[in-house]
A = this chain, B = another copy of it.
Amino acid sequence: MIRVTVWNEYRHEKKNPKVAKIYPKGMHGAIAAYLNKQQGIKAMTATLDEPEHGLTEEVLAKTDVLTWWGHLAHGEVNDKIVDRVQKRVLEGMGLICLHSAHFSKIFRRLMGTSCILTWRETDDKERFWVTDPAHPITDGLPEYFELPHEEMYGEHFDIPNPDSQVFISWFTGGEVFRSGCAYHRGKGKVFYFRPGHETYPTYHDKTVLKVIANSVKWAAPINGPKLADGAWHDPIEKKRK
């Protein structure tokens, strides 16, 4: 059983009736509901305004994969919680960063780059092309899929070269974007997946949800080796005379 915590800033839904109508239980609610219908996945939720943003040591210790959506309030996320999440990722917890989480503290921390991109809100069509069809995240997908209306994110996207470039998006306005990017970081796996502007029903789209479920399965921790602890390490080979 993969234990997922679906984290959401959960501000747009409270402020903007249009968003609330699309996501009456929040984007986290929609994503968690879908994941809970998948065999082998159990999803909980957590949001910014809960104590410790809902990400206590106890919660993270029981989280196999964390999904993250943030936008308006990246700056309100406490640095100590970011430290805690980063530590857990390096220890093996999966992290799925969605849409505007490209600019979250945790994603920028793990990438080491600015994560700046270009953007535009004008009802562009987005078409996702699969560029790594061997990757488990593409399981059950067609060679491309579309969202009729989405915010545009365009290159240059300031990220490290992904370990696997899973999707590249085409936009009506003439842009391209590396929209599905997979990374190993420590013992953890990180996936950035672009779509999910709050004013569109993106997290009701079956293919988008399938990608999220696939990424959760891919990012689930393995029982990997103990990591180095930074301490003195005696020679394994005996000293020669």
Interface residues of A (CB under 8 A from B): 86, 90, 92, 109-114, 116-120, 122, 124, 127, 129-136, 138-144, 152, 154-158, 160-161, 163-165, 168-176, 178, 183-189, 222-237, 239-240
Contacts and interface: CB of A to CB of B under 8 A. Distances in A.
Contacts of A174: 127, 170, 235-237
Nearest to A175: B170
Contact of A225 (B142, B176, B183, B227): B142
A185 B232 contact: no
A150 to B, nearest CB: 13
A117 B228 contact: yes
B237 A186 contact: no
Contacts of A225: 130, 133, 138, 141-143, 156
A95 B140 CA distance: 21
Contacts of A139: 222-224
Given A111-B112, A155-B168, A120 B234 contact: yes
A236 B109 CA distance: 32
Contacts of A185: 112-113, 134, 160
A161 B132 contact: yes
A156 B173 contact: no
Interface centre among A109, A154, A222 (most CB of B within 10 A): A222
A155 B130 contact: yes
Please list the 9 inter-chain residue pairs (A to B) with the smallest Cβ-Cβ separation, ordered nearest first: A173-B235, A174-B236, A118-B233, A134-B184, A174-B237, A112-B112, A139-B222, A110-B112, A129-B155
